[in-house]
Structure 1
């Protein structure tokens, strides 16, 4: 194998980036460990793409410090950084063959044509496109074009691979397939990767860690499971898991367990850093259990206002004594009709206290 990779770390230390009077990034600090795939996730305008562009050297901080490996790159141009970027638009040259597109960065940097050709072929093999080298980009599907863009970045043997919304031009089924390929490839070669997306499911599927950004700062950082099951705020709970946010009361505490009143329903949850009194509770849609109400029913009272069949699941909107709830139910063969009175209970997982700030 002629391609060799040395995974590098990435560190931001109190990095700020302003455009005129606007703070695009405000005193952001984080470290990405070598060999990890870390996703920058957040709504449009949160600062994630600006952060990626500063790693690439396409933007420079107003203040703060950026390290790649043991080298400070804060003010270095993109050409002096050991990174490669996969763009949202693929940016393939339509008049060049696939092999020529993959080799372009190598030949532009002065590598001889024989070595560039060898590495181009190896890059195409890595992404499952061996034998496609003489085709034109127009002869490939969208997913294949995306893999060519990844191969072109990989043959430069970067310390860090940057991916800017790499799947946004693909349909839903192909997005799932290509994201699995990217993740498998990243793990296979042990490369450090920084991945930007606004798609929560995509971030959960591919990441070792996720950095969620909002309004130019980091809202929360952690593993996919940590962010989904232990959101730090109402913003994270809503953005990551589409959670229902309801008022509840901690009525008793025993050790690390809280007894919680959600309307007339009682349950027990991990306390975390909360105390007795009124709290905000994040309830994931799949953690809500519905059953038709009768005289023996327990739980919250509710009424189904909307029911939507989506093949593998039912989605409901239910009016309840704690407000309107969004519910995901996988028992599609036991659908509940609109207008039905229901009893509402919660599973043991999928509920967490969240801070409102």
Structure 2
């Protein structure tokens, strides 16, 4: 890509379908050269947001800007964006090179120049030797890279990716998401990426925008959302968490002393005030100790061996805790009494 990447701005965008409000009042910014993921459960509004950015839907009110230009009511073919679809949308009768060149030729570029750009596009995604192959002769990951190359050669200000890995198996998803992220960082294009997969969002994003019921629930870097969730919904949606009752005993600068079932712990205060509150505790932040240890008591109610870790559920007076323990060499049987402690990381005060 040689064109400068563009920014994306939504200003108080609202979208309704009859009496149904899909997007309530959306304002967001995507900085040039960054990859921002719209993440959320089905029906949260992320796909509608992407379709409005692509020009496939128009907002009921508000403004959308790409590279500082108001494109709110422009049709899709007049916006400087390219889209990678969930289904890849490759022409089955065309080889990879012809698929990548198609959009260039359709825009009026000479066939020779379009071919040269297409060859460069395939080289960018590591498929320089596969231009002669039909889509059916490629793996799912290779087909996805052809679709990315086809979008990139158009040199859009913004690349849109709609659930781009949903058709791949788990192992291939991990590899292709790494390739997409490395490509984006190397070429520094602006990308808006839609997914419902939390791990995928954490792995590829500069910023994640979590949506719920047509609104932004929280936005920030992957680390910010994982380590400092703003609500029980975010805590459980990004990486799973146990939400437990606590009492904030003391605030000292950036830290707060909290107690859970009599166990005292120091955590970032995050604006908390003394009194009752809630903690998000990641499953791998829980320590299982012998029952006689100085922590609060529990009892193992479920255990599942998963190779490199064991998943436990432990019943406590405050409810059931989900625990991920890497100590596979000392498994605990169902019914074993334990004492439960917390590590220093993976715990955060959250709002109700």
Provide the secondary structure at the position in 1 that maps to 2:172: helix
2:200 counterpart of 1:202 = yes
Aligned mate of 1:300, from 286, 296, 301 = 296
**d(CA) in 1 for partners of 2:255, 2:49:** 39
Superposed CA RMSD: 0.9
2:270 counterpart of 1:272 = yes
What pairs with 1:18-29 in structure 2 (closer than 5 Å)?
18-29=16-27
Contact 1:300–1:321 (Cα < 8 Å) also in 2? no
| Partner residue, 2:318 | 322
Deviations 1:33-79 (A, max 9, x none): 00000000000000001111111111110000000002110000111
Provide the secondary structure at the position in 2 that maps to 1:228: helix
**d(CA) in 2 for partners of 1:183, 1:23:** 33
Deviations 1:269-320 (A, max 9, x none): 12111111110111110100002313xx110101111111111111111101
Provide the secondary structure at the position in 2 that maps to 1:84: strand
| Partner residue, 2:36 | 38
| Partner residue, 2:106 | 108
| Partner residue, 1:339 | 335
**d(CA) in 2 for partners of 1:279, 1:111:** 62
Contact 1:292–1:340 (Cα < 8 Å) also in 2? no
**d(CA) in 1 for partners of 2:252, 2:106:** 66
**d(CA) in 1 for partners of 2:173, 2:86:** 13
2:3 counterpart of 1:8 = no
Provide the secondary structure at the position in 1 that maps to 2:128: coil
TM-score (norm 1): 0.97
Provide the secondary structure at the position in 2 that maps to 1:149: helix
**d(CA) in 2 for partners of 1:58, 1:333:** 54
**d(CA) in 1 for partners of 2:214, 2:192:** 18
Q: Report how far residue 355 of structure 1 moved.
A: 1.1
**d(CA) in 1 for partners of 2:147, 2:254:** 50
Provide the secondary structure at the position in 1 that maps to 2:329: helix
Deviations 1:148-176 (A, max 9, x none): 11011011011100000000000111000
**d(CA) in 2 for partners of 1:222, 1:257:** 21
Q: Report how far residue 336 of structure 1 moved.
A: 1.4
**d(CA) in 2 for partners of 1:103, 1:254:** 62
- Unaligned 5+ runs, structure 2: none
**d(CA) in 2 for partners of 1:329, 1:60:** 48
**d(CA) in 1 for partners of 2:76, 2:99:** 20
Aligned mate of 2:308, from 312, 321, 325 = 312
Q: Report how far residue 200 of structure 1 moved.
A: 0.4
**d(CA) in 2 for partners of 1:266, 1:71:** 54
Deviations 1:124-158 (A, max 9, x none): 00111012111110001111111111011011011
Q: Report how far residue 337 of structure 1 moved.
A: 1.5
2:279 counterpart of 1:290 = no
Deviations 1:83-112 (A, max 9, x none): 000000001111111111111111111111
TM-score (norm 2): 0.98
**d(CA) in 2 for partners of 1:292, 1:197:** 41
**d(CA) in 1 for partners of 2:238, 2:77:** 35
Q: Report how far residue 321 of structure 1 moved.
A: 2.2
| Partner residue, 1:135 | 133
**d(CA) in 1 for partners of 2:318, 2:345:** 19
**d(CA) in 2 for partners of 1:28, 1:136:** 41
Provide the secondary structure at the position in 2 that maps to 1:40: strand
| Partner residue, 1:227 | 225
**d(CA) in 2 for partners of 1:340, 1:188:** 51
**d(CA) in 1 for partners of 2:261, 2:52:** 48
